[in-house]
């Protein structure tokens, strides 16, 4: 059986594409130093979200992989902020890097990653969680936003 490509692979691919675009085809500069250092805030927030979510998965003893069945429905901590805190973390990390770069074209892979997460992984995960946890997941989905809230 062919192994599915997991979200971190798309994240790293988007990061590499952002770097390539920044150095090879940057487009217009939309932000200059010292303002580009504002990118550190979303970057660090994204790293924190990923670390906290990963720790929550490990503490609960459930999988972080989107193609595997979860054993626990996580609703506390960073999961109260977002139903998909790791994906939000990916976007914040890349968004922070984009701000730090200050050029326009690296935004394209960031948007592409957001679309892949929104169209491919989130529907799959939410369907699996709904099947696994039923009404408990429906209640959670009605109280926590998909991305941020």
Output the pLDDT for position 2. Answer: 80
In a domain, 8, yes or no: no
In a domain, 90, yes or no: yes
In a domain, 55, yes or no: yes
Domain that holds residue 79: 37-143
- Rg of the chain on CA atoms, in Å: 17
Q: With beta carbons less than 8 A apart as the criterion, state whether 44 and 50 touch.
A: no
In a domain, 22, yes or no: no
CA dist., res. 78 & res. 87, Å (int): 12
Output the pLDDT for position 67. Answer: 87
In a domain, 21, yes or no: no
In a domain, 31, yes or no: no
In a domain, 2, yes or no: no
pLDDT tens digits for 53-112? 999 999 999 999 988 999 999 999 999 999 999 999 999 999 999 999 999 999 999 999
Q: Which is higher by pLDDT, 4 or 33?
A: 33
pLDDT tens digits for 108-139? 999 999 999 999 999 999 999 999 999 999 99
Mean pLDDT of 47-58: 98
pTM: 0.95
In a domain, 19, yes or no: no
Output the pLDDT for position 149. Answer: 62
Domain count, the chain: 1
Q: With beta carbons less than 8 A apart as the criterion, state whether 69 and 132 touch.
A: yes
CA dist., res. 7 & res. 65, Å (int): 9
Look at residue 41 and tell me whether its pLDDT is greater than 80: yes
pLDDT tens digits for 8-32? 999 999 999 999 999 999 999 999 9
């Amino acid at each position: 059986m062919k192994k599915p490509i997991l979200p971190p692979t798309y994240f790293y691919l988007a990061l590499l594409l952002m770097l390539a675009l920044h150095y090879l085809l940057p487009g217009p500069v939309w932000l200059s130093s010292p303002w580009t250092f504002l990118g550190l805030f979303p970057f660090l927030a994204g790293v924190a979200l990923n670390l906290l979510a990963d720790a929550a998965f490990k503490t609960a003893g459930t999988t972080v992989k989107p193609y595997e069945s979860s054993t626990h429905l996580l609703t506390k901590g960073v999961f109260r902020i977002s139903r998909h805190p790791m994906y939000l973390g990916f976007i914040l990390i890349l968004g922070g890097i984009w701000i730090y770069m200050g050029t326009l074209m690296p935004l394209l892979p960031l948007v592409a990653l957001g679309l892949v997460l929104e169209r491919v992984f989130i529907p799959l995960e939410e369907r699996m969680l709904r099947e696994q946890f039923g009404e408990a997941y429906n209640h959670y989905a009605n109280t926590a936003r998909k991305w941020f809230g």
